[in-house]
Amino acid sequence: MRIATALPVDADPRTAADRVAAWEDDGLDIVWVSEAYGFDAPTVMGYLAAKTTRLSIGSSILPLYSRTPALIAQTAAGLDAVSGGRAILGVGASGPQVVEGWHGVPYDRPLARTRELIGICRRVWRRETLVNDGAYQLPLPPGAGTGLGRPLKILSHPVRDSIPIYVAALGDRNVRMTAELADGWMPFLYDPSRAADVWGPALAAGREKRDPALGPLEVAAGGPLAIGDDVTGLRDLARPLIALYVGGMGAKDRNFYHDLVSRYGFAAEADRIQELYLAGRKEEAAAAVPAELLERTSLIGPESYVRDRVRAYRDAGVTILNVTPLGPDPRRLIAAVKAMTQ
């Protein structure tokens, strides 16, 4: 089991990169750089490549709608080159809140776009001639355009012809497609005790169609991390984030995170969080997040308890343990949880 962490979306990239470089010495294997509607991820990832030597650097996530597939492939190839073959391309559909509200483009055909993006990227990295079709077909009416467009292949020679592609997915169809085609899966708000009930059939169906050449599907999941006899109160720090996603990411009838928490057995609580959040009562929405959900989606408690949590994630199929270290000594926490995975 590898250990990963994500840079905070509001962190100063230079200061955060210095911290990550130190954590690399403590056993950190992967750093994720999110994008959403903060700094763009590739710029920060390139800086991290220059500050580190061993760990993998992944996007978590690049939205499908903010760049063309060819540009995403070019970007991943460039990051892989400057990092010496350490890039991971994490992609996802994001949601209408970001795609339409921030980027101003329609949130359409997310599943088809994800499937086609994976194929296009792999063709680019193999230096095959690129032809866009399907969801990414050039939408020109008759008589429009120059008539000079022609298929091309990437000018550069990528360091690797197969950069790992991880997909952030929650819904059954998307998870099934991810298990079939992607190198890795990044679920959010992952509860190892309920994962098999929620996603087991979709994962099994996707793996049945999976090309053996891809190897086993990596699963990257985890949560906040704190170790000690008096740290359980730190679970409450996750309340605003969970309330934001369950309550505010999307419309009332189209929120993937609300649906997930409902499938975990907290349907009434999810409805209440959403009701409060959409009414602008964000603090009350955070207070309505169930304590049991906070516990089941984190690694916070005495050392023996955290060790049991690490084992629970491993037993559920997690191969990359994502942790967010809390408290004054994150280096100690990274080193401690790394030792627990050996």
pLDDT in tens, 38-48: 899 999 999 99
User: What are the structural domain ranges in the chain?
Assistant: 2-226+299-340
Within 13 Å, how many C-alpha atoms sit on residue 181's CB side? 22
What is the b/e burial string over 289-299, where b = at least 16 CB atoms within 10 angstroms of the residue's CB? Answer: bbeebbbbbbb
Domain 2-226+299-340: give its CATH superfamily.
Luciferase-like domain (3.20.20.30)
Q: Is the pLDDT of residue 74 over 70?
A: yes
Q: What is the mean pLDDT of residues 268-278?
A: 97
Helices 13-25, 330-340: inter-axial angle, 10-degree rounding: 40
Q: Please state, in angstroms and rounded to a whole number, the distance separating the CA atoms of residues 298 and 291.
A: 11
pTM listed for this prediction: 0.93
Each residue's pLDDT tens digit, 233-244: 999 999 999 999
- pLDDT at position 78 is 98
The string of pLDDT tens digits covering residues 309-332 is: 999 999 999 999 999 999 999 999
Asked if residues 318 and 219 have their Cβ atoms less than 8 Å apart, the reply is yes
Whether the pLDDT of residue 147 is over 70: the answer is: no
**303 pLDDT exceeds 50?**
yes
Quote the pLDDT of residue 146. Answer: 46
Could you tell me what percent of the chain has a pLDDT over 90?
Answer: 82
- Per-residue exposure over 272-282, b if at least 16 CB sit within 10 Å of its own CB, e if not: bbbebbeeeeb
What per-residue confidence (pLDDT) applies to 132?
64
